[in-house]
Each structure stands twice: as structure tokens, then as C-alpha cells.
Amino acid sequence: MKKKTNSYQLWVTLGYDLFSEEGHEGIQVERLARILGRNKSGFYHYFENTDTFFEKLIQKHHEMADEMILKIGKMESFDPEVIDIIMEYSTAILFQMQLVKNNHIPLFSKTQSDVTFKFSHSVLPLWSSYLGLEPEEALKLWLFVRGNFFSNLTSKDLRFEFIHSTFSEAKILIKKLLAEQEAY
């Protein structure tokens, strides 16, 4: 029984990694089998079809998001702690990016929305403190910055420096806008 569990996990882990890098287009049963050195029949032993496989990948994504959220709940600062978590869970971040890019697919749209909601609310206290804003205003800005972050993100950009500068620039811009608003 242990071998079956390991084989099942290999399919899911590889699928999760490929989806993170290439989106759903990168998931082809023959390709997965070739990379794993397995028969296609092994895939169908665990997964009825690719739709079932995508559901398992989505399940794994929720598990990864929940792990991140638990860690964020124990943190005291946005920078560098949340940025470190983003780096630690870079595959999950890229998976989420692929969901955003492919939100025309109902399963992907619902998942990206659910995970965005959970993650945004977990990070909100730290983000609000980082910006020095009330949570309601901070949430609006978080959703804007997060959307910009995902629309411009590539796997090559997923480095601490890029993430740090993205959030630092947002903080500087927000402070500048608030200062200008107070001047009027």
C-alpha cells in the first residue's frame, strides 16, 4: 500500500510543479508518464481523467495555501517575514498565478478567488501595520498590489529582491499619495 501512496504523490507533485510553471496546458498524461518513467495506465489507476487530476491539484493548492496562512498567523512583520514565506512557497505562488491567468476556467476561477480571500485576510494585519493604514484601506491596496504583482510575475522574477522592491515601491507610493492628500 505504501508504494501506491508514493506513486500517487509522485503524479500529484509533478502535476503541481508543471502546472505552476506552465499552466494547465503543461499537463498531458503522456508527458507526465514519460517524466515519471511510468505507464499512462498508472495515471488512470489513480485519476479517472484529467479533470479529476486537476481537482487533486486544486486540493493540494488549498493545502499549500493553508500551510502558508498558518505560518503567516505566527508572524510579527510583513517585511521580511511574509516575503520569506512567499519565497518558501514559490511553487504555490506560481500555481496561484496560473489560476489567475486562466480564470476563464470555472474551477480555476473559484480556487483563485477562494485562496486570494483566505490569504488576503491572513496577511491583512501585517500589511496594514506595514503601511500604517486602517485595515479597510489596506485591504483595498493589498488587492490592487497583489493583482499587479500576479499580472507581472514570472518564475524568473520570483526572487526576494523583486518581491521586496514590489512591496517597498507600493509602500513608498502610498505614503507619497497620502502626503499629497494631506497637503490639499
Instruction: Kindly report, residue by residue over 174-183, the tens digit of the pLDDT.
Output: 889 888 878 7
The whole-angstrom separation of Cα 19 and Cα 25 is 8
Instruction: Kindly report, residue by residue over 5-25, the tens digit of the pLDDT.
Output: 589 999 999 999 999 999 999
- Would you kindly state where each structural domain of the chain is located, as residue ranges? 2-183
Question: Is the confidence at residue 122, as pLDDT, over 90?
Answer: yes
Confidence of residue 162 (pLDDT cuts 50, 70, 90): confident
Kindly state the average pLDDT of the residues 93-106: 94
Q: In this structure, which CATH number among 3.30.70.3450, 1.10.490.10, 3.40.630.30, 1.10.357.10 belongs to the domain 2-183?
A: 1.10.357.10
pLDDT at 153: 79
Confidence of residue 4 (pLDDT cuts 50, 70, 90): low
As a whole number, the mean pLDDT across the chain is 92
Confidence of residue 1 (pLDDT cuts 50, 70, 90): very low
For the entire predicted model, the pTM comes to 0.89
Question: Is the confidence at residue 3, as pLDDT, over 80?
Answer: no
Instruction: Kindly report, residue by residue over 22-55, the tens digit of the pLDDT.
Output: 999 999 999 999 999 999 999 999 999 999 999 9
Cα-Cα-Cα-Cα torsion 103, 106, 109, 115, nearest 10 degrees, comes to -150
Confidence of residue 71 (pLDDT cuts 50, 70, 90): very high
Q: At what angle do helices 2-22 and 29-36 cross, to 10 degrees?
A: 120
